[in-house]
Structures are given as structure tokens and as C-alpha cells.
Structure 1
Amino acid sequence: MSARKARAPTPPVPTDPLPPPLGTPAPRAHAAGIDVGDAAHWVCVAHTPDGSDTVREFPTHTPGLRQRVVWLRLCGVTTVAMEASGAYGHVLYLTLIEAGLAVLVAPPHFTRQIKGRPKTDKRDCQWIQRLHAHGLLPSVFRPDDATHTLRDYVRQRANLVRLSAQHVQRIQKALELMNLKLTTVLGDVTGVTGLKIIRAVVAGERDPHVLAALRDRRCKHTAAEIATALDGRYRPEHVTEVRLCLKMWDAYQDAIADLDRTIEGHLRAMRRSSPLPPLPKHTRVRGAKPHDVGFDARDAVYRVTGVDLTAIEGIDAVHALTLVSELGTDFTKWPTVKHFASWLGLCPNWRKTGGKVQSSRTRMGRNRAGHALRLAAWGLIRSRTYLGAYLRRQRSRLGAPKAVTATAHKLARVVYALMRHGTGYVKRTEAAFADQHRERQEKQLHRRAKELGFAVTRVDPPAVGDE
């Protein structure tokens, strides 16, 4: 028999953990992590004074919040990390702030467990505590208290406008089922002419000529055309739907008007104490709409920010109000304009590996400020300005979605310059964009000709009438 070779002895496994790599921040001994839930919150601390378990479960009611604060103070915790969980963690955040603790609200995708490990609420709070102790969790953007209140008001108003629009859609469907082609002769059924006709139909009027006589003088279509469109089949179930939806729409308009008064009062309380020069007169580009703000939002936002955001093409009073409510007035929270554009989700999100770009699509997310800038950008599609020409140029090259994002990125850079540095906005014409585009093309042509060994000579076009 052949003798087996003797195996080398297995080295002992070290029991002490390896030292952290160079550059790793020292762990925070007084950091805690909380996994937020609907019925219970799991809390993990670094150590307890009596040596008991460092993880505890607390109920989410108010007495449970008080017990949590007492236990955190007993463990000597000074800073707490929790993931952004919407309404579930709102009261918890306020309770911890009032208790004098430093609270860091981290994005959920930064607090996820490592793939392959089991996931429970208890393990989640331990993982959050470990990441926070080493300073590896970034914080989400949180505005100041006054801006936070304004943001809630403006979001409530946007929800009311959205819900009221659903009833307008049902009214349009009921009119279509009765073959009343009101949408073909009116651009907006909630305008002056449309509301008069709909209220008359609900009141019992059926004569199309009498309904057409309610036409406003500014309506583009004639009374005869409107009378032809209103010759339909009135059925009681559809008239009832129009009546009930109109009633709900009116109720939403009253609620929006009530909320507008609240927003106006809050903006008045947020005004700057320093005097500001008066705003120049603004030329209205379209008629009033039912969902427009019921006060002078342009002047109110100007008194809060100190700059006129509506001077930027595409941004109206509603967009300016949305931007201020979502972003606040302190733009130093974004060190550079690139950080600001990245937070809005208006710049490429690079995914590159092995020297190859796998994807450069913009980051997905529901950023209301970025959405407002996209709406403002799309409103420039017929604008005879520099930004309008840029949007149309990009749409011909990249398509409408990418062109809107690119134009919204330009608007974001302008907004950042105005709010961060207080610079005035200088409007540029469509001819300026054409000249800039021509100059860029000439530079590219000269560079390409030089690479190929050619010389470019400028030839003036012949005068008109010369052969």
C-alpha cells in the first residue's frame, strides 16, 4: 500500500474580527436604527446599560412612542436613522425631533438588506443601525417647517384639482352618450360657455338653439355650429349623471377656493422682511381657467423668494408655487447645480461596466418639482423663444420624451441660478438659438475639414436680384 501524504494542519480561525480598512469612519457608539411599520416599530441600539438585548419592539401608538424615547435616552442614544416610509414614520420623526435627538431619514433603497440574507423586521433595524453607525446612510431632502406646511397645502390642492377633473371626464362621457358634441365646438367644457350650457341642460332645457344662445362672444364657433352639436338624444340616466357630477365638481371648486385662501395666508406669513422692488406688469397669455389659483400667486411667491420665477419662459404662477412648496428657498442644500439636477431626476443615470455604457436613462421616481418642470418645458413647444427653439430642435433629434427632459434640465439650471445666486433672468430670442446653432455647425465643419485635409472658404450668398 502506498502511504498517504500527510496533510498540513489547518490554521486556527481567528476569533477577533479583522481591523477595519483604512479610511473607514469610526463607528458611532450612540447611533440607533428603527424599522418603521404600521403596527410596530423595531429599534436597535449599540449597547444597553444593563447588558440586555439591544433590539426591542414598540407599538406605534402614542404611549409606545413615549416609551421608545425613554428607552433611547436610557441607552444614551443621540442620533437615530430610519427609512423614509411616508405617513407611517411622520409622527415618529416629529416625536424624536421634539425629544432632542438627531434624526436621519434615509432613502429606502439605501437601507435594503444584502441579497441572500433572510429579511425580517428585527434584522432590518439591526442593518439600519449598523449602516448609520458607520455613516453610510445619506439623508433625504426635508424642507424647513414653513415650507413643509406649504408643501402639504399645495399637494392637497393638486389632489383636489385631480379629483375634480375626474368628474369633468364623466360629464364629457355622459354628453357623448347623449350625442351632444359639446367637446368638438368648445375647447373646455368648464369654460364660460360650457358651464352655462351644462347648467341649462341640468335645469331641463332641451332646445339646441336656446342652448346655443348662451354662447360667449369670445367663442370661436358660431351659434349655428353649437346648435347643430347640441341636437342629441337626452336620456334621464345620463342627465342624472351630468347633474350629480356637476354638483361634485362645484363642491370641489368651493374646497379649492377655501384652500387657496389658506395658502395665501401662509405665504403672507412667509414673506421676507426686506423690501423688494415692485414686479413688472405681466401679460396674460391665456384666459382664466377654473383650476387657476384664486389669488395673485406670482406676487406672493415673489415676496417669499425675492426672485420672479414666472419671468422664465414656460413657468407660470402655478408652476412657481409648486416649485417653492417642494424645494423651499434655501438652495444651499444642493452644493452644485449638478446635484440639483440629479436630485430632480433630470440628468442621465449612468450604468457603466467594463468600459461600456449599459444604460443612461434618467432615474425613475415621483419628484413633483421635476414633474412641474417637465410640464413647463412641454408648454414651450410653440414658444418663439430660445428655450422653445431648443425644445423643437431636440424633439427632431431625440423624440418628444427626451426633448422634454432635456428642456426641463435647462429650466432647472435657470431656477437654481436664480434661487441660489439671485441672478436676474435674461430672456433670449429664437434668433439667438439659430445663431448659436449655426456657429456650432461652422466649428464642426472647420474641424472636420481640417481632419480630412481640406480648407473651408466662406462664400457670401448672392444678393437678391443678382444672377
Structure 2
Amino acid sequence: METNSLEVKLKVCAGLDVHAKTVVACILTGTLDSLRAKKEIRTFGTRTFELRLLGEWLTEKNVEKVLMESTGQYWCPIWNVLEEFDLPLALANPQRIKGIPGRKTDQKDSEWIARLGRMGLIASSYIPSREIQELRSLTRTRKSYINERTQHRNRIQNVLQHANIKLADFITDIFNGSGRNCLEVLLTGEKATQERISQVISKRCKHSSADIAESMNGAFSKNQRILLESHLRSLERIDEEIHVLNEAIEEITSNYAEIMDALQTIPGVKKRAAEIILAEVGPNVEQFSSAKQLVSWAGLCPGSYESGGARKSAHITSGNKYLKTILYQCGGVAGRSNNAIFSEFYDRISRRGSKKKAIIACAHKILRIVYKILSEQANRVNKKSSPDVASI
């Protein structure tokens, strides 16, 4: 890397190399017309009082910018403590500064981060406010519980299939209502007779009690009953955890009621989707210079692949997987909805490509609407009308 042609942007800059038990800090001090800088390196622990000592040292040195790598979750408590000192913090993507020659020790790592930051070569990652960070943790944890619940439901289906119990062929949802009552019959070891099943199923069931009873007369062993009971207990526990998380999420999102209402006016965006969008993007888009930058950050813009003067197709870029996933789901709903703008847009894209590309295009459009809503939130006080999606 040629440093002679680079311009110094900061007089005093600090680089932090973060680990589980230690933080190596390097401060570089110099003038703007010279690449040479005085170097100071110290190592601190990661307990709260030790991080406060780090903050006091950085404040004493009048550091203009503090940079650190996003190493797992180790950076989070350090960021939170240093925020108390009103220091200008920046979080760097390690992929951007990875593989630099000459970095052999932790001191070299922190020094290199400080050198890159002093010359303005490190782009800061987007870090929302503390409240939005907590909301993001809640929604992501809820997502992991939902995935775990799906796994347990699939395992229950496998147990029933191995026992040749075809209950799912006659009851759409076997985990609630009539389906759950039938599973309780299996757990008690009762014989699934027509009379017994007629007592536990709803009268609105499409299939007769005789058909459902016959579907339950498989070879259900003792161990399979143990497995079924174990998975059902896990489902109950997960449902309770999700309920607790939903209450905590609603407590935070109630502070952003106008934004939540506005987001839900977008075709395909319901309450749970609006919560995730708010958690991942935040209540404003000041950190994104344009809708294009937000779409790129989310990973919903196609990559650029050009060779020999010919442009070739490319997949969408990597980005925020939580935001991308929920927007993909919203795009599918909006594209197949009664909304004329989205349905016509979806049909036009799917005719010349694939349905998956059409859904991604709808997700792209939804995110641009989100940008418009959040960027104009000051002008939308007490306004409940839908945004003009035709112009986006």
C-alpha cells in the first residue's frame, strides 16, 4: 500500500483492537501535512471500570475519532461505555481492512486501524441508537425462536410419518385446535375411535371423524410417544418466550407509533414486518445518503458484472439478512395482492424473468418507499394516508 500519496485527515486518531478479555488501544498524534505521527499504545481490560479508564485516556488525549473492528459481539459493551464520554466512534467492517501485510501482533492491528482512520480510509458501519439496538436484539431473538419452533414442528411431522399416522393429511393445522386435541389423544395412549375423535374435533372440520380416526391408527410406539411429548413441551416453552418478546417489542415500538402506522400502509407490510424494518433501519434514514444506498446496504440491488464490454446478469449483493428476508416476504405478498401498482409491476417483471426476480424487485420497491416515509417523517405528523407508490 502506497502511503506517500495519501492525505492525512485527522491530527489525533485512535484504533482499538478488541478481544474478549483485552482491548489494545493505539493513539496516533501528528500534523495534517505529515504522515509521521507519535504513537502511544496501551492495553486495557474489558471490565466496565477498565473500559471507563480507556474512555478517560482517550478523552485526555483529545482524540478526534475512535475506530474499532466489529469483532463478534465484543465491540458492543466497549461502544456503549465509550458513548458515555461523547467520543466520536466508528465501527469498521473487518472485511474492508482484512489481509493487510505486516500485521503480526495485536499492537500492529490497533496501529494499522489508527493509521487507516487517520487518513480517512475506513468507512464507518451504521450503528443505531441504544433503544433501536435493543429492539433489534429482541426481533432477532424472536426470529431465532420462530425458526426453532419450525424445527420442532417438522420433527413432530417426522415422528408421525414414521408411525404411519396421517393426521396432517386430514387436518391442516395439527398444532392448534382440533389437531392439537388429536395429538393429546395419541399422548394418552387412548384408542383413536370415531366416537372419541368426534368429541375432540371441531364441527367445522372438513373431514369426518371416521376418516380422522382411521388416519390416527398407525404403529405408535412408546418411544415415539416420548418424542412427541418432548417436542410439544418445547413448543409450549417457545410460544411462551415469543409472547414475552412480543410484549417487550411492543413496548419499544409504541414510542414510534406514527412510524409503525405509516410503514403498515405499504402494501405487503404488516405489524411484525414493520417491527423488523424499524429495528434494522431505525426511525430515520439520516445515515443513508439516498434510497440507493439503503437498498445496497440491505443487499437488494443486483451486483455489477461486466466483462469484455458486455454486461452480464449478476445476483443481488450480500447485505442485512434480517431486513432482506422480511422484505422478500413482503415483496411476495405485495406482488400477489390486489394493489394495482405492485401487482402490475410483479406481472411485468415475472413475464420477462422469473417470479423470484419479480419478488426481489417488489422488495426493492418497498424499501424505497420505506426510505421516503422515514425521510419525510417530520412532514407526516398525524397523516395516515398511504405513500404515493406509483412515483417510487
TM-score bracket relative to the smaller structure: 0.7 to 0.9
Is residue 163 of structure 2 the alignment partner of residue 181 of structure 1?
no
Alignment deviations for residues 126-157 of structure 1 (CA, whole Å, 9 cap, x no partner): 22111111122222122222222222222222
Identity %: 26
Distance 1:356 1:31, change over 3 A: farther
Distance 1:148 1:392, change over 3 A: same
Structure 1 partner of 2:33: none
Distance 1:304 1:147, change over 3 A: farther
Alignment deviations for residues 420-459 of structure 1 (CA, whole Å, 9 cap, x no partner): 235743689xxx9xxxxxxxxxxxxxxxxxxxxxxxxxxx
Structure 1 partner of 2:124: 139
Cα offset, 1:409, TM superposition: 0.6
Cα distance in 1, alignment partners of residues 207 and 388 from structure 2 = 36
Alignment deviations for residues 386-419 of structure 1 (CA, whole Å, 9 cap, x no partner): 3234334433432243222112111112222233
Cα distance in 1, alignment partners of residues 358 and 347 from structure 2 = 8
Cα distance in 2, alignment partners of residues 397 and 150 from structure 1 = 39
Cα distance in 1, alignment partners of residues 367 and 39 from structure 2 = 49
Question: Structure 1: where are the runs of 5+ without partners?
Answer: 1-16, 272-302, 433-467
Structure 1 partner of 2:319: 365
What is the SS of the residue equivalent to 1:108?
coil
Distance 1:427 1:90, change over 3 A: closer
* Equivalent position amino acid for 1:405 in 2: I
What is the SS of the residue equivalent to 2:67?
strand
Cα offset, 1:52, TM superposition: 8.5
What is the SS of the residue equivalent to 2:165?
coil
Is residue 391 of structure 2 the alignment partner of residue 405 of structure 1?
no
Structure 2 partner of 1:418: 373
Cα offset, 1:117, TM superposition: 4.3
Kept in 2, the 8 Å contact 1:193–1:214? The answer is yes
Cα offset, 1:103, TM superposition: 0.7
Of 23, 27, 51, which residue of structure 1 is paired with 2:9?
27
| RMSD, matched Cα | 2.9
Structure 1 partner of 2:18: 36
Cα distance in 2, alignment partners of residues 396 and 194 from structure 1 = 40
Q: Larger Rg: 1 or 2?
A: 1
Cα offset, 1:234, TM superposition: 1.6
Comparing 64-73 with 99-108, greater Cα deviation is found at 64-73
Of 324, 329, 334, which residue of structure 1 is paired with 2:288?
334
Is residue 216 of structure 2 the alignment partner of residue 227 of structure 1?
no
Cα distance in 2, alignment partners of residues 18 and 217 from structure 1 = 78
Is residue 273 of structure 2 the alignment partner of residue 319 of structure 1?
yes
What is the SS of the residue equivalent to 1:54?
strand
Distance 1:29 1:235, change over 3 A: same
- TM-score normalized by the length of structure 1: 0.72
What is the SS of the residue equivalent to 1:45?
strand
Cα distance in 2, alignment partners of residues 421 and 364 from structure 1 = 27
Kept in 2, the 8 Å contact 1:32–1:81? The answer is yes
Question: Structure 2: where are the runs of 5+ without partners?
Answer: 31-36
Kept in 2, the 8 Å contact 1:212–1:226? The answer is no
Structure 1 partner of 2:227: 241
Is residue 166 of structure 2 the alignment partner of residue 211 of structure 1?
no
Q: Tell me the matched-pair count.
A: 375
Distance 1:427 1:365, change over 3 A: closer
Cα distance in 2, alignment partners of residues 329 and 373 from structure 1 = 17
* Equivalent position amino acid for 2:202 in 1: D
Cα distance in 2, alignment partners of residues 134 and 229 from structure 1 = 71
Kept in 2, the 8 Å contact 1:113–1:127? The answer is no
Equivalences for residues 6-405 of structure 1 within 5 A: 20=5, 24=7, 26-47=8-29, 54-114=40-100, 116-209=101-194, 210-211=196-197, 213-268=199-254, 270-271=255-256, 303-305=257-259, 307-352=261-306, 355-357=309-311, 360-380=314-334, 382-386=336-340, 387-405=342-360
Kept in 1, the 8 Å contact 2:331–2:366? The answer is yes
Distance 1:218 1:121, change over 3 A: farther
* Equivalent position amino acid for 2:317 in 1: R
Alignment deviations for residues 83-113 of structure 1 (CA, whole Å, 9 cap, x no partner): 2223111111111111231111122222224
